[in-house]
Each structure stands twice: as C-alpha cells, then as structure tokens.
Structure 1
Amino acid sequence: MTSMTAHPRLTEAKDHLEALVAFDTVSRNPNRPLIDHMAAHLEALGADITILPDETGKKANLVARFGPADKPGLVLSGHTDVVPVDGEAWTSDPFSLEEREGKLYGRGTCDMKGFAACVMATASDLAQTDLERPVYLCFSHDEEVGCLGAPAIAEHLKAQPVLPEFAIIGEPSMMKLVTGQKGKIAMRATVTGSGGHSSFAPQHVNAIEYAGRAISMIQERGTRFCEEGPFDRDFTVGHATMLTTMVEGGVATNITPDLCAFTFELRSIAQVDAEAEMQALITQVQETLLPAMKAISAEADIRFERIFSYPAMGDATNDRAFQRYRPILPEWGGKVSYGSEGGVFEIQGGIPSIIVGPGSIEQAHLPDEFIEISQLEACLHFLDEVTGMLSRASTDMAAQ
C-alpha cells in the first residue's frame, strides 16, 4: 500500500497496522499472540519489556520502557482488544487491512490499533533518542469489556522506582485534546419472586412487576441527574446518567413470573461519587420493595451483581505535568462520555491523564470500521513532538 505523505514512517505505521489487524483480538479471544508480536518488535529496539499475564495466561498486558527508570516520565497507553464483528455486514474481511480512497478498513483500525501502530513505528525514534525522561508504552487486554487489564498496569507503574508523571491515552479523538471521560458502573439485578397460575396472582410475588418498580427508581435517579446535576458542560451530555439497558423475565401469558433479571448502568462525571450513588440506589430498592415481597414469600429476594466498573477521568489541566506537556498538545476537543483507561491510571495509578488519539469515535464498533490515513500521519507527527520534548537535547536547550 502506498500513499503520498511527508512523514517518513507512515508506510511503516501502515505495515504495523496491517499486522495488528490480522490478530483476531475480539475480547472473548486470547490477545497473547499480539502482545508477543509487539513485545518482540519493541525488545529488538532495546526497550525494557514487562509482560503482565492474566490468571489464564492467555491474555496479557505489555509495558515497554524506553529511557531511564529513575526519572518521572510519560505513559502512552492503548488497548489491544476489539469488539466483535458478529452479525455485521462488512464490505471486506474485518481482519485483513484494506485501503480505499485514503482510508484503512478493518476491525480495530480506529479503536485503537491505529494508535498502537503509530507507537510501534515511533519506537525506532525513541530507541535512537537520548531520552531525558522515560516513555512507557502500555498496551492492555479487555478494555472493551470493562477495563479489566489496565489496573494491573497501573499497579505495575506504581511499583516503579519513580512514578510516571503523565499519561496520554490514545483513544480516537481526531487528534484533539480530551480532558475528561465519564466513569461507568454496570450492574445486573435479579428479582426472585414466587410463581404459579396467574389466576392466583394476588398470592404470588410477581418478579417482573417488582423489577419494574426498581427500574422506575433507576429512572427517577437518572431524571434527577438531568435536572439537578452536578453539571460539567464540557461533556456532550453534561451530567451523570443512570438507565436500564436490558430486561428478561416471564415464561407464559398465564403464569405469574417468579424470576426477572435486568441490567443497568451509571455513567458518572468526576464530580459524582459513583460508588455512593450506586449503593444508595441498591439500599432504596431493597428497603422499599423487599418487605412487601417477603410478606408473601420468604424466598423472595432482590440481588445485585456488579458486571464491571471503571472510574471517571478528571480534568488534569491544572496539574504541573499537564503544563509541562501543554506546548505540544493539540487543540482542545472537550470531554467524552465514552469509556477509557484514563480514569484507571488517574485513580488507581495516581497518574494524571488525557486522551489524544487518531480516528473518530463515530467509526468505532461499526461494520467497515476505518481510520483515515491522514489521522495516522497526524498521530506520527504528534509522537515526533513527544519524542523531541523528552529528549536530553531538548531539555538542555530549554535550560539555556
């Protein structure tokens, strides 16, 4: 594949992207082959490599460091898993990169193997630069199903001789600066009632009806967030949201349902105590509904199970490290409601974070997912700026 461009590493980045897309790293599958592929490339360039496997050994995180370990450095972070292609109508093979009219098509091109490919291409320059501060290249597993891999990376970085001072998350932002990201708690509730012939309904605990009452409480909280805040107008949806997303229950029109399950979520901004809000909702549901249910059947119950959660990423613009990197950061693009690992690095790792990455979130998770080649080039230029800022020569010049 060829393209007219001024950047000398664009062809290399496209080649890396072609290799990365060919790994089917849908979250249900192992990502270890891709991690080993990336690790081999970076290790050959001289990076210090750490692989953090999960308990199965089939999935892993990668941390590769260029530069000294005894200085506060920069994290470049991305995830390696992608969403499924099941049931989607693709024009081309989703796991084979295809170039058409200035765009590169394939699952993960935008979210977010395009960023990973640019980092891999830039690694050659990192290896050849006399770095004053280290760069940590961090790539995780299972971001798409709840940021499951990132906490291990955050804990690993906390254990380093010197904690990195700043993190750039390469989620698709059209190479604009994003300074906030919502957190999420995803929950499943199971309502156990008592069933029987529906003609005896008053003697039963209708699990669907009690689930409906609980869902109404969720809706009321969502409405309160919308009307009362707290608000952060930099988000496209400038407040927390809480809503029910799936409901399942009942077996026949003449049977009182004895079981109903539903899932719901809370997406929070940094000003909201998400854990406290979720616990308050659970307490309200149980204290309001359980007494009447158990008065009919002692076995009636409402159980809550956390599916996954990740924290919101706060605004790091007042942090000293942000001010250090501000001269090379692109124009501001607001705050986003989609999830990222930025909140994990900030809250669990103590590393202030921002989002800057190639591609548009509007292309993520769709059939015929693509990234514009011009976005890869913009990312490469940005990473050039990062490399230059961290070089010893740049630091010496700034001190003169």
Structure 2
Amino acid sequence: MDELGELTADLVSIPSHEDETAAGDAIEAWLRAETEADVERGDAGNVLAWKNRDADGESLAFVGHHDVVPPDDSQVADGEYVVEERDGRLYGRGAADMKGAVAACMLAFRDSTPAGEVAFASFAGEEVGGTGARAAIDDGFAPDYAVVAEGSTNYSKAGVTDVVVAHRGRRGSTLTAEGSAAHASEPDAGENAVYRACDAVDVVRDLDFPEVDVLGHRVHGSVAVTGIEGGSAWNVVPETCEVTVDERTVPGERAALERVEDIDGVSWTVDQDLPPMACDDGDFADRVLDAARESQDGDPEQVTKPHATDAGWLAQAGTTCVVYGASEPGEAHTADESVSLGVLDRCYRTYRALADDWR
C-alpha cells in the first residue's frame, strides 16, 4: 500500500466506538510530527489544525470524524479491529465511515501550500449526534467554508465521487397520549390513551412532506410513525401510550408535527434534532465540482444526500458547506465495511487541489 493506504489502515485499526481517545491521539501525533501547523486538542476529543491561521481573507476547512459505530463480531480479533486489503479495497470498521477520508484530508492538508487560511478538523461524537462538532462550534470553530468528507461516491452514477450541496436532517419525536385507566369491562369509565394515540397517528399520516430547492436540486423530506407502545394488561383501559416518529427534515422546512397537540391528552417531545444542510454559495459548490472533475476520469455532479452529517451543525452555525468523500451508499455501518483505495486517492487529489488554490 502507498502512504494513504497505510495511514488509513493505521487509523482503522484503532478501536474508537466506545472511546475515541486513542484515535484522536494518533491523529494529533501525526499532525504534530508531519506538519508545522497550529494543532489543538479540544476537551471534547476533537483534533484541530490550521495553516496560515488568521490570514486575511476567508477560511477553508476539511472536516471529518474519528469515532465509529460498534463493530460486527467479525471485525474484531483479540480486542483489536481487523483490517484487510483485497481487490483494491481496505476492509474494517470505520474504513468508509470515515477514517479513510480523514486520512486523505490529513495528507492533503500536510502536502498543500495555501496562501490563505486552511484548517483540518476531526471531530469526536459524530455517530452520537454531533457532540464533537457542537463543542467545537461552541469553542469558536467557525470556518467560512468547509468540505465535510462524508460519503458522496456513486451518488449520480457508478464510478464518480460527486459533490453534495444539500442533505436531509433527522428529527426524532415521541408523542405521549395520556388517559385514565378503567376496567376493560366498563370502557366508558376511563379515557383510552391508545385511542388518543391512534388519533395522533392519523394526524401524522395526513401531514404533507416538506420539500425545498437547493441550487436547483429538489430535497424531499419524510415523516413516518416507527413505533407504538401502550397498555398494561388485557383487561385494563390504558392510561398512557407512546408513539415514536421519524422525520427527515429539509433545509428551512419542517412537517407540522405540533398539530398532534390539538388532540386532548396528547403531547409532543423532540428527542433528537440533527439539522439538514444546504450550500448557500453556488460559486463555492462549482469550485469544488471543478476540482473534483480534474481529479477523476468520470463526470461528477452536484447531488443531494439523504443522511445527516456534521455539515448540518456547521451550516447552522454559518459555515458554507459541501460534502465530498469516498464512502459509497450501503458501505457504512456494515459487517463488510470497506473503502476503495483508488477513490481515496481521488479524494486526496481533490482536497489537495482545493487547498493549494485557497487564498
């Protein structure tokens, strides 16, 4: 393997599903040894580095994360992650999501010679709601522009890495219906919480899905009831019932879930709200697309992505974002997770070209 493959393999081999510290240590140590950048390690476990910090003009950041979801049993041996190379791909937990792209960002950051301010960031806690990104933003991390290196490969067609200009967010909610218990032989003596919950489900079923245009691309939201639980015994009118709702949000629009509270005894609680992302600068999106085209034989396009990423948190804080990275649909979080070494090189060349031209 070349340097990029070896660095990816090194990062993938470090367990980081329960504690990202060791992976963050490795990234920090590499940056300090291989670059003359201004390197910081935040309390949240983030690793940040800058070239030409505080230079005049606008700043550009390359952003990834070094935490992963729990591995499949087949991806662990003797307490360590298994890493294998075969057929031009590197296999292991986190190879696609997203230590391979982090490695590509690290090397491009090291090798580039920008005239303007360029940053690298690898966040902790992306897989648990973006805790690292939010901590970095709270601590003042505020690049003008960012390329978030999550997956964008094979979105428009096979064999290309596309530029994502928008992605959906996720809002997870609980609808709680309250009633009053009674013996089931006298149902009118109580208030059936399941019936109230079913009325709320009907409201959700009839909601319009939000849609929005971003740089000429249509982004579609969705809302779905994903669970219902209520009742304590077969002969008792239930006094409580909970309904879970998964909503995929779009930039600037939300489904009107608050309407469920028009039903007596029903309340609505938001449990998780991962923001969507919309690139607000078409010139920047075109600039990244031009670099992507120069770095590959295929014809990449500007596309949208169904999954939330840390780009949502950055965009919400005012950073103009796109997503561009090696992971392909269906690769992340799987028992046979892998990343193409050739696509990683493509990403490295795109990141390097962007950084070298930044001024």
TM-score by length of 2: 0.85
Aligned residues: 341
Which residues of structure 1 form unaligned runs of 5+?
3-10, 55-59, 291-301, 396-400
Q: Deviations over 1:159-196 (max 9, x none)?
A: xxxx5331101011112111111122212233333334
Which residue of 2 is the match for residue 43 of structure 1?
32
Equivalent in 307, 326, 329 of residue 358 of structure 1? 326
Distance 1:91 1:153 in 2: 31
Task: Check 1:140–1:322 CA distance in 2 against 1; reply closer, same or farther (3 A cut).
Answer: same
CA shift for structure 1 position 368? 0.8
Task: Check 1:180–1:41 CA distance in 2 against 1; reply closer, same or farther (3 A cut).
Answer: same
Contact 1:138/1:153, CA 8 A, preserved across alignment: no
Q: Deviations over 1:303-324 (max 9, x none)?
A: 43322212221133425x4455
Aligned amino acid, residue 75 of structure 1:
A
CA shift for structure 1 position 209? 2.3
CA shift for structure 1 position 157? 4.4
Distance 1:351 1:104 in 2: 32
Which residue of 1 is the match for residue 313 of structure 2?
344
**Does 2:255 correspond to 1:287?**
no
Instruction: Give the fraction of aligned pairs with identical amino acids, expressed as a percent.
Output: 25
Distance 2:70 2:267 in 1: 30
Which residue of 2 is the match for residue 298 of structure 1?
none
Q: Deviations over 1:212-271 (max 9, x none)?
A: 2212211211xx227xx4567835xx4221112222233332232223222212222224
Aligned amino acid, residue 143 of structure 2:
P
Which residue of 2 is the match for residue 206 of structure 1?
192
Which residue of 1 is the match for residue 273 of structure 2?
309
Which residue of 2 is the match for residue 398 of structure 1?
none
Equivalent in 87, 110, 124 of residue 96 of structure 2? 110
Task: Check 1:208–1:153 CA distance in 2 against 1; reply closer, same or farther (3 A cut).
Answer: same
Within 5 A, what are the aligned runs for 1:1-400?
A: 2=1, 11-26=2-17, 29-44=18-33, 45-54=35-44, 60-71=45-56, 72-85=58-71, 88=72, 90=74, 95-126=81-112, 129=113, 131-157=114-140, 164-174=143-153, 175-221=161-207, 224-225=208-209, 229-230=211-212, 234-235=217-218, 238-272=219-253, 274=254, 277=255, 280-282=256-258, 284-290=259-265, 302-319=266-283, 321-322=284-285, 325=288, 327-330=290-293, 331-348=300-317, 350-390=318-358
Distance 1:260 1:214 in 2: 11
Distance 2:146 2:357 in 1: 15
Contact 1:110/1:361, CA 8 A, preserved across alignment: no
Which residues of structure 2 form unaligned runs of 5+?
154-160, 294-299
Distance 1:333 1:323 in 2: 8
RMSD of Structure 2 on Structure 1 (CA)? 2.5
Contact 2:166/2:279, CA 8 A, preserved across alignment: yes
